[in-house]
Structures are given as structure tokens and as C-alpha cells.
Chain A
Amino acid sequence: MISRPLVVQRVVWLVLAVLTLFTLAILIFILAFISARGARVITPEFLFSLPERMGKEGGILPTLIATIYIAVVAIVVATPFGVGTAVYLTEYTRESALTRIIRFGADALAGVPSIIFGLFGFILFVIRLKMGWSILAGGLTLAVMILPTIIRTSEEAIRAIPYQLREVSYSLGGTRSQTIMRVVLPNALPGILTGVILGLGRSVAETAAVIFTAGSSLRIPRTILDPGRTMAVHFYILAREGLSMERAYGTAFLLIVVILLINTVAYLLMFRLTRRLK
């Protein structure tokens, strides 16, 4: 006879294993589905030439450039604001009504659907601030959208730094800003980077927020004020207008590869950083 606790343990193990496998299976199915249809479309020509006939033929070079361009603008704008807010919340204030309001605001912002951000960006940046459909308007809209993610992950990372490390710095004559710059931020860097990477991933994958703000021009954007079409938007238009499902899957496949690449590079970077600190 097997004892009762052992039976319970085995049943629980089985349930958890099935749940995990199921989750993995969905993920693998999506990846395999898109790879099977998209991978064969990818050729050097597809990557590095201009689209023709609205994307029915030709390549996707402009969308690749616009995607990177917009994501970089979003990250460059959102990171200082996000990290700055996190430092303020953790190092410069005590818990109060104000910090709770800021935190609640950030959480609420994180739950807003991206199309609302798109509408907001369209009204504020495109119309009101007269940026027009542009990389800048799209990047700024995405920056606002990913701000809460960066704030909250940075805040958690900074909070995780033991208070004693700060005390060591103070006890050696360090000012608060020196302590933040030399002890707190360097040690919180891996956590902060995680938030930035999450934000970057969301920027690259976003459709609704950029279609309203960056437009859907298929020309290669040169300055920050040119409009552009990101890969995600390109995929949406190709699929929705029935222009070319083949090319839509090719774009989707590339999008996934780009996101995987960003994540891998970022984690390698983080690994090197943390190893240096340990």
C-alpha cells in the first residue's frame, strides 16, 4: 500500500505537470504555426528591399527601420522618466498619500488598453502639438504606455537593495545622491533593465497605439518627424486588407525573431553585469 500523503503528492505533481505542459504546448504551437508559414518567406531580398504594390510584393525594410526607430525613441524617453520616478518614490519620500496616488496612477495607467493610448497620442502629439503622424509622436505615445512598467519594476528593484548598503555609504560620508548613484542604482541595474526590456518588447509588438500616431507610410523614415509603419502595423494591414497572407506571416515571424533577439541580448548583458558585481 502507498501511504495517503504520497498519493496526494503524486496527484498534485501530475496536475501541475499537466498545467505546465499545456501552457508550453500553446506557446510552442503558436511559434511552430507562425514559423511554418513565415520562415520560408524570409530571404535577404525580403529583409532588405522596399515593398511594392502596398506590400503585396517586395520586402519590408522600411517597417524594420521604423520599428527599431520608434522603439528606441520610446525607450530613450521613458527610461529616464521611469527610473527617476522610481528613485523619487523609494529614496526621496516617505510613504504618504502622495506616493500612494503616484503608485495608484502608475498601476491604473498599466491597465489602460493600448488603443486608448493611441487615441491620446493622436490628440496630444499628432494634432495638438502638431507633430503629425511621425516616429516622434509614435515613440512618445509608446513611452507613456510603457512608463508604468518601467516605474514599477525599477521601484521593486531599488526596494530590494538592502538598507544596510545605503547605511554603509552614509557612514563613509556619502551624500544621498552619491549613495543613489554609486550604490543603489548600480545594484538595482539588473532589475531596472528587466523593466526596460519588457517595455522594449511591448513597444516593438504594439499596433493600436502606433497606427494612430506614427501612421502607416511605407517610405523609409529618415528624420524623427517622418511617418513610418512598424512591423506589427504592417502585419495587421497585410492580414486585414488581405494583401498577402504569406508576407504577413513572414513579417510576424520576423517580429518574433526580433523580440527573441532583444531578450537574449538583454539577458546576456544582464548576466555579464551581475557577474561583475558578485
Chain B
Amino acid sequence: MPEKISARGLNVAVHGSPVLRDISLSVMANEILAIIGPAHSGKTTFLRCINRLIENQPGFVRTGELLLDNRDVRQWDIDTLRRRVGMIFATPIPLPGTIFDNVAYGPRLKGVRNMRRLAEIVEKSLRAAFLWDEVKDRLFSSALRLSGGQQQRLCIARTLAVEPEVVMMDEPCSGLDPISTAQIEQAMRELKQSYTFILVTNNVKQAARVSDRTAFFLSGELVELGPTAQIFTAPRDKRTDDYVSGRIG
């Protein structure tokens, strides 16, 4: 499997204090890589470096390499980069407006105007996010009236509508009930055929359930990266063992 994203000696500091230290890891195409670790271990920062959202933050310095398809993310045109690498945020954030408008937002940015074409994209994306059956009769009602779990799947559909290659999820189920969480995990497993996933999660059980490989971050460092089964049953590093078994963090 080809490397989709690779970090080599990635260092990030914000206002002089290091947030990520010497991170080297690769994300393979069509895998689900889980990143686990306690709060403030740099997981979210890592995602935000990939799609360069971090650049809106003042006082941020990055060194080392961070490649998408063997090309540094800084060399990509920023809008193209962000279309290729989608992001789902921790809290579902529907844009004020209808369900349809939300999913069609990305395609419209690219200049798709034709309503029939937009309707096709919206249906396809909502089906892929397992939301279509629940909302097909009210596409033109407000997205803010959906439940939390539905809103998060809407956000997934909205990301899929721009046809990304990589989907980054930043604790996508942190505010959701177990049923909604199961629906999102099911969606991820199905979508793995066509996308690469990076799943940042505080929920180690979720990482164990859905991911192929797991990386453990602690205080901005990559402690261990391996097949999920190995990380959870036979971690090499004591700190990983302590974290996955619930003794720290």
C-alpha cells in the first residue's frame, strides 16, 4: 500500500513552546489510522498541520517534512489540499441553512451550479454517511434541527461531497450517544474502501474497534505506532500499556 501522508521529523511550536516533537509516521492509503493519547498530546495539532488550518493561528512555527502524496503540504495549493484532505470536527458544526445547502457547500465553492448535479452529489454523500434515509424527505429544512448524531453524519456527508482522499476525524463521537457512535463507526468501515482515515480519539475502545493501526501520542511525542491489535494486547512501551489499560491519562 502506498504512503498517503508521511511526517518526517515534524516539529511544531506555538509561541515558542513545543506542541509536536520529532514526529515521524506514515498513513497508508485506505487504512484507518487511530491516534490516541491524553489531552494536550498534540493529536489535534497534527491534523491541523496536515490541512494547514493551523496557519491561521498566530505564532506557529513548523519544521520537518509533512507530505501528502510525496509532496509537502505547503507546496500544495491550499484550497486543493483542503479539498483532498477533509476534516470532521469534534463538535458537529452545521452551517446555518438547510441540510441540502450544507452538503452542497463544498461543491458550490468549486463552482457547481447545476441543481440536478448538486442533487446527485447531495444524495450520494448523504447515502455514504448513512443519513439519506433519515433526511430524504426534509432536505430543505434546517440542519440545526437534526439531532447531534445526525448533525455529525451530516458533517461527514458534507466532507465527502468534495470527494476528498483523506478524511481526518477529530474525536468525531465525543458528544454522541452509543447508537450514533456505532452508526458513525459503521460508516467509517464501509468508506475505508475509497478513503484513507485518520481518527483522533480519546476513546481507546473506539480505536480498538475500528482502526487498522494505532499511534499513541504523549506530550507531543509519538510513543508507539503499530497494528491496533498489537498496541492493545502487546504494547512495546510501558507508557502505552499504562494508557490503553487505563492506568494513566
- The docked-state distance in angstroms from the alpha carbon of A278 to that of B143 is 8
- The docked-state distance in angstroms from the alpha carbon of A98 to that of B32 is 47
Q: Of residues 81 to 119 in B, which have CB atoms within 8 Å of A's CB atoms?
A: 82-83, 86-87, 89, 91, 93, 95-97, 105-106, 108-110
Known: A164-B89, A168-B95, A278-B96. A174 touches B79 (CB 8 A): yes
**Smallest CB separation, A99 vs chain B (Å):** 14
- State which of A174, A178, A187 has its C-beta within 8 Å of the C-beta of B96: A187
Question: Chain A residues with Cβ under 8 A from B82's Cβ?
Answer: 170-173
Known: A183-B95, A277-B97, A278-B96. A173 touches B80 (CB 8 A): yes
A173 close to B83 (CB less than 8 A): yes
- State which of A94, A164, A186 has its C-beta within 8 Å of the C-beta of B93: A164
- State which of B91, B105, B142 has its C-beta within 8 Å of the C-beta of A172: B105
Q: Of residues 124 to 157 in B, which have CB atoms within 8 Å of A's CB atoms?
A: 142, 144, 155
Question: Chain B residues with Cβ under 8 A from A264's Cβ?
Answer: none
Residue picked from A171, A182, A183, most chain B C-beta under 10 Å = A171
Q: Of residues 160 to 196 in A, which have CB atoms within 8 Å of B's CB atoms?
A: 162, 164-165, 167-175, 178, 182-183, 186-187
- The docked-state distance in angstroms from the alpha carbon of A174 to that of B155 is 15
B106 close to A172 (CB less than 8 A): yes
**Smallest CB separation, B134 vs chain A (Å):** 20
A171 close to B96 (CB less than 8 A): no
B93 close to A168 (CB less than 8 A): yes
The closest CB in chain A to the CB of B106 belongs to: A172
The closest CB in chain A to the CB of B168 belongs to: A171
Known: A94-B58, A278-B142, A278-B144. A173 touches B110 (CB 8 A): yes
**Interface magnitude class on chain A:** 20 to 34
- The docked-state distance in angstroms from the alpha carbon of A243 to that of B8 is 86
A171 close to B87 (CB less than 8 A): yes
Residue picked from B87, B95, B108, most chain A C-beta under 10 Å = B95
Asked if B240 lies at the interface with its beta carbon under 8 angstroms from chain A, I say no
Question: Chain A residues with Cβ under 8 A from B58's Cβ?
Answer: 94
**Smallest CB separation, A175 vs chain B (Å):** 6
- The docked-state distance in angstroms from the alpha carbon of A222 to that of B176 is 64
- The docked-state distance in angstroms from the alpha carbon of A206 to that of B53 is 47
Asked if B29 lies at the interface with its beta carbon under 8 angstroms from chain A, I say no
B162 close to A173 (CB less than 8 A): yes
**Smallest CB separation, B47 vs chain A (Å):** 10
Question: Chain A residues with Cβ under 8 A from B93's Cβ?
Answer: 162, 164-165, 167-168
B106 close to A173 (CB less than 8 A): yes
- State which of A94, A175, A182 has its C-beta within 8 Å of the C-beta of B79: A175
The closest CB in chain B to the CB of A166 belongs to: B56
Q: Of residues 28 to 44 in B, which have CB atoms within 8 Å of A's CB atoms?
A: none
A171 close to B95 (CB less than 8 A): no
**Smallest CB separation, A277 vs chain B (Å):** 4
**Smallest CB separation, B40 vs chain A (Å):** 19
B95 close to A165 (CB less than 8 A): yes
Residue picked from A169, A172, A278, most chain B C-beta under 10 Å = A172
A172 close to B89 (CB less than 8 A): no
Question: Chain B residues with Cβ under 8 A from A175's Cβ?
Answer: 79, 109
- State which of B53, B91, B108, B144 has its C-beta within 8 Å of the C-beta of A171: B53
A172 close to B96 (CB less than 8 A): no
| Other A-B pairs beyond A167-B53, A172-B158, A173-B162, 18, CB < 8 Å | A94-B58, A162-B93, A164-B91, A167-B93, A168-B93, A168-B95, A168-B158, A170-B53, A171-B51, A171-B159, A172-B162, A173-B79, A173-B82, A173-B106, A173-B109, A174-B105, A183-B95, A278-B144
Q: List 14 A-B contacts (CB under 8 A).
A: A167-B53, A168-B89, A168-B158, A169-B95, A169-B109, A172-B83, A172-B106, A172-B109, A172-B162, A173-B82, A173-B106, A173-B109, A175-B79, A182-B105
A residues contacting B by CB (< 8 A) are 94, 162, 164-165, 167-175, 178, 182-183, 186-187, 277-278
